[in-house]
Structure 1
Amino acid sequence: MWFSLLILLVYLSNSGGQRILIRDAPPVTIRRQGVTSGVEVTLSKIGHRAWMYLGLPFAQPPVGNLRFAPPNVDPLPAWSGIRNGSVHMPSCMQDPQMLHNRNRVFEALMPNLQIRMSEDCLYLNVYRPEGAIPDEKFPVMVWFHPGDFHSGSPSLWDASVLAAKQKVIVVTTAYRLNIFGFYSDSSSEASGNWGLLDQVAALDWVNQNIDSFGGSSQNVTIFGQGSGAVCVGLHTLSPLSRGKFQRAISMGGNVLQRIAITTFDTETVLEMLADNVTCFRNTLTGCLKNIVAEELYKQGGMLTHWGPVVDAVALANGSRDPFLPDEPGILMAADGLNPAAHMIGFNHMEEAYELYDKVDAVESIGVTRDRFENLIREMVDEEQLPGGQLAPMIASEENCTLNVDFVLETVIFRYGYQANDPENLRGNYVKLATNKKYGSTAFRMAIFTSKRSPTYMYRFEYKLRTTKVLVVPEWIDAAHMMELPFVWGMPFWTNLQNIDWSSADRRMSENMMNMWTNFARFSNPTFKGFTVKWEEFKGISPKVMVLDKNLNLSFPDQEYNFWADYYPKVLNVAMQCCQNVTTDGASISSLSLVFLIFVPLLLYSFPIDLIHISASW
């Protein structure tokens, strides 16, 4: 035991962790597995203690013949004696540099962060408040980490403050990533979605065992950010996840985004992979199971964007039930959602750092008119690629041509009308990119979910005040992932001694933790402790809570409808296919296009000032 405590102390000192070791937490007996120890930690900034139980296996190691297979949970890993629950187990296979690149906040907080990796990685961590268990037991929140399905680790997400301060149990779980988690050869032998099936296994473990830790298996909330939020959405649609949770929170990502389902030329990728690892294509899957994990990642981990797939096609032979029977949008439209209350949201400037990284001198001089138009042209061109909105039409028709200039002019009319100032164009581009990718898809998802279950939508606009955490450019407020320090209570982490968090940041974190756990406990984010009432999102009267220094319930931006409803019509009109470009033998004229697009766009974009615009036209 002394050796394990030494390891824990070394881990804390290396990671910049927040905890101060006091004593062992009470041991817990886990059914069919054994007894685990835990650690009690003190959180001096909030005056509470938490018990944490780390590195608990929820499936057999996914190695050898279990690589590219559903997690094996029968039997669960078992042990004799008392298992050491004081240290994190290795993270799943990935590129450590990618982990750093995708986590600006963590890179700023813990620049020397190091993680261990192994293919044997199916472990979860349980954080709970110290002390007696309430009669109704603690609500449970299960976290799916972000990382674009290629990177991430549960060990980054210390839930001690969230659990202890809010009196909830938080479970952070690993799941297989990149080629290990999402390899598919489009057959029943390797149908894909292994990482998602790992999450199902973790939810099963929670349902069967969380009561041993004081949690309620009837009060489970799944929550995630980025690709973790996509996972949340996929579980709300999967028949394999039905009944395993009661609430769902999607933050800065959702299942209707383009990244939710991976699309690539499967045969081309598999041929390349076979060449890289010197395997025959017709025996590739079996051959891959015999390759050392590090070599497999090196040769195939970044070969394509591995991610979720509709596995029902590969499993049409009925060998087992699919995780995802169809495309998310189709399932939602067919009322295929699992029963669960929803909280869905995004950040005001999700795409700000994408622009920051893409455009030179964007901070100092903004975005020129030419660059603004080129960025939109690139966006429109991507609609024709796999996963783009026009990809299905292109696949089903021959000799289709997109009038890119027509779509470009429509979007510019919406976002660049009479705007030439580089700073304004910079803001307009971030706004359109954010609302296209995040806002409109979150809005569409809320429309679907609100028909079946209580739904709450938010837009996070708060700008981090504590500059020692991350120096945020003046023109950026709430970029991608910037809500996470507040949800996870980082201003109250004890061992971040070099950071003097502002009182405003601490208050914002208090509010965010209260809202998230109110939702987990009551299915209502402002049920307790708030004077502002967060009204449910309803299709006939949609309301969005703006999360800033002052909370403000408002109606959604018109931008959401523009991208969700109007933009697809623009693309359809601009897509000219052989059998669709004529009406009674005559080509659609430019004047017809004007009436189809620009006249409604005037009414849509500028309903109040239409007379002025008509005169200027």
Structure 2
Amino acid sequence: VRMAKLEILVAIAVAVFLETVSLGVVTTEGGMVQGENLRLGFRRHMDRFRGIPFADIPVRFQKPQSHPGWEGILKTTEYRKRCLQLNPLQTDTMGSEDCLYLNIWVPHGSSVSTNLPVMVWIYGGGFLVGGSMGANFWDNYLYDGQEIADRGDVIVVTLGYRVGPMGFLSTGDSDMPGNYGLWDQQAAIAWVHRNIRAFGGNPDNITIFGESAGGASVSFQTLTPHNKGIIKRAISQSGVALCPWAVNKNPRKYAEEVALKVNCPTDSRMASCLKMTDPVILTMATTVKLFGSPDHPIVNNLALAATVDGDFLPDEPQNLFHNAAEIDYIAGANDMDGHLFTSLDVPSVNSQLLDTDPEDVKRLLASYTKEKGSAGVAEAYSTYTSYWGNKPSRETIKKTVVAIGTDYIFLVPTQTALYLHAAAATTGRTYSYLFSEPNRMGGLLTPYPSWMGADHTDDLQYVFGKPFSTPLGYWPSHRDISGYMIAYWTNFAKTGDPNSGDLKVPVAWPKFNNNTHQFLELNHNTDINSVRQQQRLRYVHFWTSVLQSLPSLISE
């Protein structure tokens, strides 16, 4: 009898141990969906839904429409195609116009989760490329929400939005106003707000986060009046709406260039001709020159971007921060964010052998300040070379090129956005960071210089927990910084304060305001000494004040 009792107890224990905690079939506004359940450990499960449609197949150059729905149970166990875009070598296209889908990761403990905070990810890619639908290269899926969801106990959502001409080509008028990709993102965020409760999420606690063009998109989504009351918090990594590449001031000029390439007229018939042009031909007509020069920097080639259309963006972004007054906001940049771009404009930056000519520094500054003419270049050059001394080292000159690119393309616009957010905020809190974990490739046997800091996109692997999911590629110190970022990001998503939540952080991150200008430097050594203030204030002052006060040349 005792033996039988023991067997029964063991059987019950095994059943409890193996018991699957899952949402099962979930009912959404379009119909029922069924994902898959992943067993992560003792009393740790996760439901993963891949490829849930949040809108109908988009009509070209129109806002997304709601999905008509489906009969029966939709199996959401595979990623859908990314949105139509150029392949990495720009020799062909990949993806599909049918791409408005999202993926959801829902973590569970010993019981099915309810009322969890929700984090919605918006990918980057210069508004030209990108996707959150499966492996980026080999079998490594960068935007896998599993580690953030599991470690931070939050729901993670990733979405697809139209990129390239399908998402951002605009004639600058009501025929083709543009911003279709931003409307796609907004439709996905609104879908999450309406449906996430059925997945165990709290619709009143949605944090959007993104990097590069995704960080700028996050910024746009907080500034548009169309998201009032839907977004609670936001995180912009290496990109805000004020970046020089984020808004195209003259979209018609670019649309006419594309029209000529695809044999369309550039008069009143242009929009209707573009709408009838094969989308693959249209996408191939928007290739970007990937080799710049100091006189023609690559950042100026990113012509597909948001437009001030009078609808999604009723005004210039800097005039819309009142719409974000109640949104908690984190924004920051990487300390060498500009390296990816300036090393293509000034290739000697990466060379161990070649010196970088100070003349290249001047030429690059001339490109970035061209509307101010020679006075702008002179002022910029003296600002960036003031600490050089008589004989600057080779490394000093190279680092200056990277700093100029970082400031102009990312860091100064991000600081400006933080100041504007803090000034307009009512209940919204503001936090500033600088990410400085050195690039893993820096050193003698790689194309990267030994003095490399954090390049553009270097932060992504840590936010998405790659040092935990693919440990062989990383050192323990990389797991430290990854843990810190997941802790700050998910605590913030829960409470609006990166320091308070379920995860321990290495140091309290103070709020940013227009008096103290405090920020946190994030790397594997983050501690009490990482809280700093007045991030590159001299250079922020130069770009936002000194340069602006100079008279502009009359532009065409």
- Return the TM-score normalized by structure 2: 0.83
Q: Which runs of 5+ in 1 are unaligned?
A: 1-21, 101-113, 313-321, 391-400, 579-617
Distance 2:406 2:270 in 1: 40
| More moved, 182-191 vs 426-435 | 426-435
After TM superposition, the structure 1 = structure 2 runs for residues 354-393 of structure 1, keeping only pairs within 5 Å, are 354-365=341-352, 368=355, 371-384=357-370, 390=372
1:571 Cα deviation after fit: 5.6
Distance 1:99 1:141 in 2: 32
Q: Say whether the 8 Å CA contact 2:368–2:408 is kept in structure 1.
A: no
Q: Would you say 1:71 and 2:64 are equivalent positions?
A: yes
Q: Would you say 1:177 and 2:163 are equivalent positions?
A: yes
The partner residue of 1:430 within 388, 402, 420 is 402
Q: Would you say 1:502 and 2:475 are equivalent positions?
A: yes
Structure 2 partner of 1:348: 335
The partner residue of 2:540 within 555, 559, 563 is 563
1:52 Cα deviation after fit: 0.8
Q: Would you say 1:129 and 2:107 are equivalent positions?
A: yes
Structure 2 partner of 1:145: 123
After TM superposition, the structure 1 = structure 2 runs for residues 170-319 of structure 1, keeping only pairs within 5 Å, are 170-264=156-250, 266=252, 268-280=253-265, 281-300=267-286, 305-312=303-310
Q: Which runs of 5+ in 2 are unaligned?
A: 1-18, 134-140, 289-300
1:445 Cα deviation after fit: 1.5
| More moved, 290-299 vs 507-516 | 290-299
Distance 1:133 1:376 in 2: 60
1:197 Cα deviation after fit: 0.6
- Counterpart code for 2:49: Y
**Given the superposition, is the C-alpha separation of residues 172 and 257 from structure 1 closer, same or farther in structure 2, using an over 3 Å criterion?**
same
Q: Say whether the 8 Å CA contact 1:419–1:425 is kept in structure 2.
A: no
Q: Would you say 1:57 and 2:53 are equivalent positions?
A: yes
Distance 1:24 1:376 in 2: 62
Q: Would you say 1:536 and 2:511 are equivalent positions?
A: yes
Distance 1:179 1:506 in 2: 39
- Counterpart code for 2:157: V
Structure 1 partner of 2:7: none
Q: Would you say 1:339 and 2:317 are equivalent positions?
A: no
Q: Say whether the 8 Å CA contact 2:520–2:531 is kept in structure 1.
A: yes
After TM superposition, the structure 1 = structure 2 runs for residues 12-27 of structure 1, keeping only pairs within 5 Å, are 26-27=23-24
Distance 1:429 1:501 in 2: 29
**Given the superposition, is the C-alpha separation of residues 456 and 38 from structure 1 closer, same or farther in structure 2, using an over 3 Å criterion?**
same
Structure 2 partner of 1:154: 132
**Given the superposition, is the C-alpha separation of residues 123 and 353 from structure 1 closer, same or farther in structure 2, using an over 3 Å criterion?**
same
CA-to-aligned-CA distance 1:368-426 (integer Å, 9 cap, x gap) = 46x233233222233336xxxx5xxxxxxxxxx54355335423443534352111221
The partner residue of 2:454 within 469, 474, 478 is 478
Q: Say whether the 8 Å CA contact 2:333–2:410 is kept in structure 1.
A: yes
1:43 Cα deviation after fit: 4.7
1:165 Cα deviation after fit: 2.0
**Given the superposition, is the C-alpha separation of residues 355 and 259 from structure 1 closer, same or farther in structure 2, using an over 3 Å criterion?**
closer
1:260 Cα deviation after fit: 1.7
Distance 2:68 2:331 in 1: 36
1:160 Cα deviation after fit: 1.2
**Given the superposition, is the C-alpha separation of residues 278 and 434 from structure 1 closer, same or farther in structure 2, using an over 3 Å criterion?**
closer
Q: Say whether the 8 Å CA contact 1:460–1:478 is kept in structure 2.
A: yes
**Given the superposition, is the C-alpha separation of residues 417 and 238 from structure 1 closer, same or farther in structure 2, using an over 3 Å criterion?**
farther
1:187 Cα deviation after fit: 2.0
Q: Would you say 1:517 and 2:490 are equivalent positions?
A: yes
The partner residue of 2:430 within 411, 430, 455 is 455
Q: Say whether the 8 Å CA contact 2:118–2:157 is kept in structure 1.
A: yes
- Counterpart code for 1:509: S
Query: Alpha carbon RMSD of aligned pairs, Å?
Result: 3.1
Number of aligned residue pairs: give it: 506
Q: Say whether the 8 Å CA contact 2:31–2:70 is kept in structure 1.
A: yes
**Given the superposition, is the C-alpha separation of residues 99 and 531 from structure 1 closer, same or farther in structure 2, using an over 3 Å criterion?**
farther
Distance 2:367 2:441 in 1: 39
- Counterpart code for 1:383: T
1:24 Cα deviation after fit: 11
The partner residue of 2:314 within 325, 342, 349 is 325
Distance 2:452 2:394 in 1: 15
Distance 2:384 2:542 in 1: 17
Give the secondary-structure state (helix, strand or coil) at the position aligned to 1:35: strand
Structure 2 partner of 1:31: 28
Distance 1:82 1:257 in 2: 43
1:524 Cα deviation after fit: 1.1
Q: Say whether the 8 Å CA contact 1:351–1:479 is kept in structure 2.
A: yes
- Return the TM-score normalized by structure 1: 0.75
Give the secondary-structure state (helix, strand or coil) at the position aligned to 2:307: coil
| More moved, 423-432 vs 231-240 | 423-432
**Percent identity of equivalent pairs:** 28
- Counterpart code for 2:101: Y
1:285 Cα deviation after fit: 2.0
Give the secondary-structure state (helix, strand or coil) at the position aligned to 2:434: strand
1:88 Cα deviation after fit: 0.5
Q: Say whether the 8 Å CA contact 1:99–1:151 is kept in structure 2.
A: no
Q: Say whether the 8 Å CA contact 1:150–1:178 is kept in structure 2.
A: yes
**Given the superposition, is the C-alpha separation of residues 324 and 163 from structure 1 closer, same or farther in structure 2, using an over 3 Å criterion?**
same
Give the secondary-structure state (helix, strand or coil) at the position aligned to 1:262: coil
CA-to-aligned-CA distance 1:249-307 (integer Å, 9 cap, x gap) = 011111221112113462x4344433333334422322333333222222356597211
- Counterpart code for 1:403: A
**Given the superposition, is the C-alpha separation of residues 464 and 196 from structure 1 closer, same or farther in structure 2, using an over 3 Å criterion?**
same
